[in-house]
Amino acid sequence: MSDPSPDPAAFEAAARATIERLPDEFREGMQRIVLRIDEFASAAQLASVGIDDRWDLTGLYEGIPLTEQSSWISGDMPPVISLFRQPLLREMRETGAGFEELVSHVVIHEAGHHFGFSDDDMHALEDMVRD
């Protein structure tokens, strides 16, 4: 019996579709971001945000927010947005959230960290993508 859950490629496609729906100025600001789909966060990723249970982290931004970047900083690795497939699948099952809706929510939240946004700013950006 095959697993009917969305595979990593479906997660990546949904995440990229979300990015394509962003307003131009935000989409352009995300050109250097690497998008990763992993089954779970690593121990180091969990520790970086103070989370113990690998099922509790659905996405993570790793990088220097645009609001903190400087022309004096060079040679850094590009920022990364990671989506964690198994915790997202569990959240879908537990909450009844739709696949694209949940992926979009997590991508926008993590992109918000890249832009140095507050939670209110992230919600406004999410509303822009939904409209």
Give the ranges where the chain is alpha helix by DSSP (H): 8-21, 24-29, 43-48, 85-95, 99-115, 119-130
Average pLDDT for runs of 10 along the chain of length 131: 80 95 88 94 96 97 80 72 97 95 94 84 77 60
Report if residue 3 sits inside a domain.
Answer: no
Query: Length of the chain, please?
Result: 131
Number of domains in the chain: 1
Nearest to 106 by CA among 129, 79, 73, 77: 129
Asked if the structure places residue 47 within a domain, the reply is: yes
Domain range holding 102?
A: 8-64+76-130
Is residue 97 in a domain?
Answer: yes
Q: State residue 3's pLDDT score.
A: 59
Q: How far apart are CA 56 and CA 84, in angstroms?
A: 10
Residue 1: per-residue pLDDT: 45
- Per the structure block, which two tokens stand in for 21? 């729906």
Distance CA 39, CA 37 (A): 7
- Specify if 27 maps to a domain: yes
pLDDT number for residue 75: 58
- Give the domain CATH number at 43: 3.30.2010.20
Residue 90 lies in a domain: yes
- Residue 94 in domain: yes
